[in-house]
Structure 1
Amino acid sequence: MTHGMRIERLLLTAHILAMVFGVAGLVLVLPHPTWVLALPVAGQRLFAWSMAGGGIVYILLGALAVGLYGLRVLGARLLWGFLVPAVGLSLGSELLGTSTGFPFGHYGYLDGLGYKIAGLVPFTIPLSWFYMGLVCFLLAYGGLGGLRRDWVRLAGAVALGSVLLMAWDLALDPAMSQTPVPFWEFQEVGAFFGMPYRNLAGWVGTGAVFMAVAAGVWGSVTLNLSRRDLTLPLVVYLVNFLFGAVITLGLLEGRYWIPIGLGVLLGVIPAILCWWRAGQAVSANVILPELDLITR
């Protein structure tokens, strides 16, 4: 194992632990304020800091882990070719959404996710679009290895990857907007468990746009991704989905099993199947026109 891979695993572990700590605080501790009051002063301060800054930490750790993974497996050109449109276009979509209500519906961010760009969108939000977008795209691409034409495979990865991204939101959105400690709120009553239907369409559309732009930047590239190569993306996808699902089911009424179940059907199961179909090859090669570049 290389030094870079050790750092990836360390960041991934810290990312997971930050989410576990956040879930425990939101689901177990906050509903029982006497537990917090029983802590020593230092413990109360630590808990208050974690509730105020925990969202920032877990997103930053996830973006760093996936970024280092992408640099190792994809190389700098392909990583930046995805990161720039993912961050730039998702930020533009979020700024448009918080200003006009298109494409997600009328909503606004509260405190807890860091400095707000233009006073509207926390800087961590485009980073979450990047790291979850990349893992969704790579899982979809790996699962569609049977498609021999590069452009067909890339188009399929854009379509499936954007659906995987939206499926994650089915678990995340109720957890982040409707629980006792929300991070954003809709300014309209959504027909789908508090969410406007166009919010789901906005997720698919935003993901599809920046994935399509990234696919265009990548051009004629063939990635031979094995199960081993896609293990980190699968773990990131599953733990982030579980994070939202546990908070939603732990703090909201039982009928929220429906969006969680849809998320499992449209996201978790396809993600696992994509990982399984990727095969057991040992290495991930990037084949470019006129060049044979092996990224390891």
Structure 2
Amino acid sequence: MTRLMRIEKWCLWGHVLSMAFGLAGLLWVMPHPEILDYLPAGSTLYRWSMAGGGVVYILLGTVAVALYLRRTFGWQAWLSFMIPALAISLSSELSGTSTGFPFGDYSYLNGLGYKIAGLVPFTIPLSWFYVGVSAYLLARGGLLGERMTWVRQLAAIATGALLLMSWDFVLDPAMSQTAMPFWYWHQPGAFFGMPYENFAGWFVTGAMFMSVAALFWQRNERLQNLDREQLMVPLIMYLANFSFAMFMSVGGGIYVPIFLGIVVGAAPAIACWWFAPKSSTADADPAAQLPPMPVMEMVSTPAGVSK
């Protein structure tokens, strides 16, 4: 196993675990600060988590997905998605925070890192990238197959944009209404504080950078007929971030977006993975293709031995 593959795994599972750590802080410790008295260095860890926890988990997710794309499909596939995703999503966010178009009238608070132009945290376009490419790869795997007609291409882009929008279905109400909100709406909308135009903005923004990537990816044979093993990392990434949003919503007593998100997001994502071709190495249990937790790898691999 190469050093970059080890870094990819550490970042992937670090991303998942840091989200769980952040959930514990927001939903468990914040309402009950007396818990910190019983934890070693509890107050210090809590301050670190609140000050930079959001930045850390987003950076870990970005590195994990970037290394996965480079390893699985090549550096051209990675950059031809990442660059349009960052540029288009940042443009939409800057427009949204300064003019209200296309998402509505909102502003970011602190907690997600340095703000570009004083408006958009630098981590926001990164989250569009790694969740967006995970959603699009799942859609491609479930819908394209070997026959890449233009109808299927459009269906994959629309499905990927829908999966991305569905994540925000669940995330936005919780992250803007939690005890420590990360953004707020100047004019709260009818859907649990969100304006309905926000959904259209998410769908169109995602569809735009997915369409650009689809044009660049046409000649890459490794991106055709994706199988379940290749899609395992995107599935983990999408479901982990969806679960984070879901638990945040549960903690805030917001349930309707969860059910809608499951119907149009989590369930279709799993279905796309399931309908992708079964990989040749996944003969029995698909779960066996999950990247192992680094701690398990350390226990099973003697020091100084690489696989």
Work out the CA distance in 2 between the residues paired with 1:281 and 1:54: 36
Q: What amino acid sits opposite 2:189 in the alignment?
A: G
Structure 1 counterpart of 2:195: 196
Work out the CA distance in 1 between the residues paired with 2:96 and 2:175: 17
Q: What amino acid sits opposite 2:257 in the alignment?
A: P
Q: How does 1:220-235 map to 2 (within 5 A)?
A: 220-222=219-221, 223-235=224-236
Structure 2 counterpart of 1:21: 21
Structure 2 counterpart of 1:291: none
Q: What amino acid sits opposite 1:213 in the alignment?
A: V
1:67-95 deviation digits (Å, cap 9, x = unpaired) = 00000111111111101100000000000
**1:219 match: secondary structure:** helix
Work out the CA distance in 2 between the residues paired with 1:152 and 1:62: 31
1:208-245 deviation digits (Å, cap 9, x = unpaired) = 11111111222344423110110110011001000011
**1:185 match: secondary structure:** strand
Q: What amino acid sits opposite 1:274 in the alignment?
A: C
| Aligned residues of 2:106 and 2:183 also touching (Cα < 8 A) | yes
Deviation at 1:147, TM superposition (A): 6.4
Structure 2 counterpart of 1:286: none
Work out the CA distance in 2 between the residues paired with 1:13 and 1:168: 20
Q: What amino acid sits opposite 1:217 in the alignment?
A: F
| Aligned residues of 2:11 and 2:60 also touching (Cα < 8 A) | yes
Q: What amino acid sits opposite 2:256 in the alignment?
A: I
| Aligned residues of 1:108 and 1:184 also touching (Cα < 8 A) | yes
Q: What amino acid sits opposite 1:62 in the alignment?
A: G
**1:108 match: secondary structure:** strand
Work out the CA distance in 2 between the residues paired with 1:113 and 1:277: 36
- Structure 1: runs of 5+ lacking an equivalent: 284-296
Deviation at 1:34, TM superposition (A): 1.9
Identity of aligned residues (%): 57
Q: What amino acid sits opposite 2:26 in the alignment?
A: L
Structure 2 counterpart of 1:125: 124
Q: What amino acid sits opposite 1:25 in the alignment?
A: G
Structure 2 counterpart of 1:60: 59
Count of residues in correspondence between the two structures: 279
Deviation at 1:149, TM superposition (A): 2.9
Work out the CA distance in 1 between the residues paired with 2:268 and 2:261: 10
1:23-72 deviation digits (Å, cap 9, x = unpaired) = 001111100122235656x4312211111100000000001100000001
**2:107 match: secondary structure:** strand
| Aligned residues of 1:147 and 1:153 also touching (Cα < 8 A) | no
| Aligned residues of 2:225 and 2:277 also touching (Cα < 8 A) | no
Work out the CA distance in 2 between the residues paired with 1:145 and 1:96: 33
Structure 2 counterpart of 1:257: 255
Query: Could you state the TM-score of these two structures normalised by the residue count of structure 2?
Result: 0.87
Structure 2 counterpart of 1:30: 30
| Aligned residues of 2:59 and 2:123 also touching (Cα < 8 A) | yes
| Aligned residues of 2:144 and 2:156 also touching (Cα < 8 A) | no
**1:239 match: secondary structure:** helix
Deviation at 1:174, TM superposition (A): 1.5
Query: Could you state the TM-score of these two structures normalised by the residue count of structure 1?
Result: 0.90
| Aligned residues of 2:167 and 2:265 also touching (Cα < 8 A) | yes
Structure 1 counterpart of 2:267: 269
Residue 85 in structure 1 maps to residue 84 in structure 2: yes
Structure 1 counterpart of 2:211: 212
Deviation at 1:281, TM superposition (A): 2.4
